[in-house]
Amino acid sequence: MSGFDKFNTDFYQSSYSVDDQNQAGYGYNNENQYNKQYSQYDYSQQMGYPAPGMMQPQQPYTGQIFQPTQTYTPSSSQSMYSSSFDDEPPLLEELGINFDHIWQKTLTVLHPLKVADGSIMNETDLAGPMVFCLAFGATLLLAGKIQFGYVYGISAIGCLGMYCLLNLMSMTGVSFGCVASVLGYCLLPMIVLSSFGVLFSLQGLMGIILTAAIIGWCSLSASKIFISALAMDGQQLLVAYPCALLYGVFALISVF
């Protein structure tokens, strides 16, 4: 804990003292670190920072000791269900696949100009993105390009890069699952592009215009969702640019 002092001296002196952190010693040390960093990073942004649910050491700990918190394991609520057969939750609910939410998120992606609701990204859902990745690979296969490996590799590197960038740019952090989920959902228009690529070649003027439009569509949707989920102001184009780079690489695979 003494390492924090050297961060403190270079920077904006917050009123958050080290002593406040020494309560709730069991297993909450990582959250104290995050709080220290966020309280330093306070460049008179008018909104302050909305502390995420599990990072408030001032609240009394109401759960059970050494039991993981709700937000960390999203399906832990399922474990509270009774073990009798009649009361067992349906399979899809237990797996955490909620078709209604998937459909809602898909609709959000398909309307890039409509304002998004920030709370839809609260549960990280990787089922939808997996389906979209597979569909993208399948349409590429139809065009004769067997490049599943590139698709997965680029999406992994891209997600990692976006995760680092968004954590550095936003006031509240973001989890890797959320980033992967959003980027996966916004891959949907790219599937449209690659299915066009099956029908006619994308290397002419029409193809270039279509490619540019689809890249713009994907990155605008992704940045819109990130902005509303992370409450970043005045940074939409800044978030859209790296998304456009990532989807540009996918488009390169579809076109060439």
Partner 1 sequence: MRNSSCREFMCLSVDRNQHSGRQAAGSPGQSMLSEPMSNLAMAYGSSLATQGKEMMDKNLDRFIPISKLKYYFAVDTLYVGKKLGLLVFPYMHENWEVSYQQDTPVAPRFDVNAPDLYIPAMGFITYVLVAGLALGTQNRFTPELLGVHASSALVWLIMEVLAVLLSLYLVTVSTDLTTIDLLAFAGYKYVGMIVGLVAGLMFGRPAYYLSLLWCCAAIFVFMTRTLRLKLLSEAAAEGKLVRVARNQLRMYLTMCIAAAQPVFMYWFTYHLIR
Do 93 and 173 meet the contact criterion of CB atoms below 8 Å apart?
Answer: no
Residue 203 is a binding residue for partner 1 (CB under 8 A): no
For partner 1, the binding residue among 20, 33, 71, 102 (CB under 8 A) is 33
Site for partner 1 in 80-99 (CB under 8 A): 82-85
Q: Select 76 or 201, whichever has its Cβ closest to partner 1.
A: 76
Residue 51 is a binding residue for partner 1 (CB under 8 A): no
Q: What is the spatial distance between Cα 249 and Cα 87, in angstroms, rounded to a whole number?
A: 48
Residue 76 is a binding residue for partner 1 (CB under 8 A): yes
**Segment near partner 1 (CB under 8 A), from 68-76, 129-137, 182-190, 206-214?**
68-76
Q: What is the spatial distance between Cα 129 and Cα 182, in angstroms, rounded to a whole number?
A: 8
Q: What is the spatial distance between Cα 129 and Cα 151, in angstroms, rounded to a whole number?
A: 12
CA–CA distance from 237 to each of 49, 131, 221 (Å)? 22, 28, 11
Query: In degrees to the nearest 10, what's the CA dihedral of 35, 41, 45, 49?
Result: -20
Taking the complex as a whole, the smallest distance from the CB of residue 141 to partner 1 amounts, in Å, to: 20
Residue 59: burial class (beta carbons within 10 Å; 0-12, 13-18, 19+)? exposed
Site for partner 1 in 149-188 (CB under 8 A): 161, 165, 168-169
Per rule CB under 8 A, count of chain residues that contact partner 1? 43
Residues that bind partner 1 (CB under 8 A): 3, 7, 10-12, 27, 29-30, 33, 37, 40-41, 43, 64-68, 72-73, 76, 79, 82-85, 161, 165, 168-169, 233-238, 241-242, 245, 248-249, 252, 256
